[in-house]
Homo-oligomer: A and B are copies of this chain.
């Protein structure tokens, strides 16, 4: 198969804007222009309120048909990135959309559609414990006081906040009372609310690991000052560099994934945990701990949360998306009390009381533990099969990181990532390149793909594994 290489062309727009239009055979110039403008807004290169050139002017500058520019502007206006008014220039919107936490399946524009879904960040949907959930709902609905149906504390139901404090203390070493727990509509929503408070207080962007969840980074960049990359190495985030980062940028909050770095899979070493906490105490800062898959360690008992080392200097993010389902939209924050109050004051929607009470029931009754154990066995076997698939394929190919989590990073020989991704698209294999997770201000790094081995259903798994093996055969 011939790989479709992109012909990037750098063009000047107005006085100071460059757009990289990556046009390929399967992806027209309209899509490329739309993506380039969207990225420019997302990254902050086009700040809120910026007037864009007229469609006629931009088309002339870029040598494109005017309708192409008109279409791109209309698409971005519909998505909320731009605002258009009759008789006035199109502008960058004052508040930009919150990116969805997970990428969508490739659509027809990008290839033949998804046949094998290996996107990271998702559990096997067929594992959702339907019967256990509705039984928990039945018990919770029967037992709820009438007051539960009213508007409640925006921080969440007391039953769930208590159940989470108890569960997280036992399983993750989190030290907190119920008053420090805030229930959110998923971890991303929790991070959004928290980041609003933190950027107001600090006036500087958050530091983030130089490889990390793109959706979170883009959301943070849209909320406040731009994020600052913190270097990683084979022992995790280089937290000893935080004081220098603070001196250079003023940042006083760092987003870490200590249990299982996303996406490299490396746990943060104890000395580096201690360094992060020491920095937070010294800088009057805070460690934001995204414990997105902390329950899923396969070789031994997971290291406890950083939060347990310094509850007054940590903001802990958790989610039911991995053990239960993203569709439930259930996450939680554990915060110092003043932050918990400030975050709760910003809650607008909140989380439905039935889901909250059902989750509290599952946590208290041991049903949640059972589900985690079942899922852990299921995913451990899959990871072992993935490791076996990669083993011995060549010196440039290896599975990075500890046996944990629902995804794995497979390092590729230098220069092969784009080709593997192109081939994956053509064959309908949905996965993500490591480059997509790299901070735009980070140095270049190794090639790799991030494989969500938990995503396929039980019946789809072996086919997905075979398809992945075929992709790797071309580079191994």
Contacts and interface: CB of A to CB of B under 8 A. Distances in A.
Interface stretch (A53-61, A82-90, A169-177, A272-280): A82-90
A141 B358 CA distance: 13
Given A83-B200, A352-B351, A352-B352, A125 B141 contact: no
A201 B351 contact: no
A146 B457 contact: yes
A349 B349 contact: yes
A150 B326 contact: yes
B138 A134 contact: yes
Contacts of A203: 83, 85
A354 interface: yes
Contacts of A98: 345-348
A188 interface: yes
A269 interface: no
Interface in A29-73: none
A327 B150 contact: yes
A328 B345 contact: no
Contacts of A84: 201
Interface stretch (A14-22, A189-197, A230-238, A386-394): A189-197
Contacts of A147: 125
Interface string A285-323: 000000000000000000000000000000000000000
A184 B349 contact: yes
Contacts of A83: 200-201, 203
Nearest to A129: B141
Contacts of A475: none
Nearest to A85: B201
A79 B345 CA distance: 6
Contacts of A355: 352, 354-355
B348 A327 contact: no
A357 to B, nearest CB: 9
Interface in A62-118: 77-80, 83-86, 93-95, 97-98, 100-102
Interface string A189-216: 1001000110111110000000000000
Contacts of A101: 151
A128 interface: yes
A148 B188 CA distance: 19
A85 B197 CA distance: 13
B345 A330 contact: no
Given A79-B341, A150-B125, A189-B349, A86 B284 contact: yes
Nearest to A337: B78
A266 interface: no
Contacts of A433: none
A134 B136 CA distance: 10
Given A123-B149, A137-B138, A329-B351, 16 more contacts: A78-B342, A80-B346, A83-B201, A102-B151, A122-B150, A125-B149, A126-B146, A134-B142, A146-B457, A150-B327, A185-B185, A185-B350, A189-B348, A189-B350, A219-B348, A327-B352
15 contacts: A79-B345, A84-B201, A97-B346, A122-B150, A125-B146, A133-B141, A150-B326, A150-B327, A188-B349, A189-B348, A189-B349, A219-B348, A328-B354, A330-B352, A349-B349
Query: Which 7 residue pairs across A and B have the least CB separation, nearest first?
Result: A185-B349, A189-B349, A149-B325, A97-B345, A327-B353, A125-B146, A98-B348
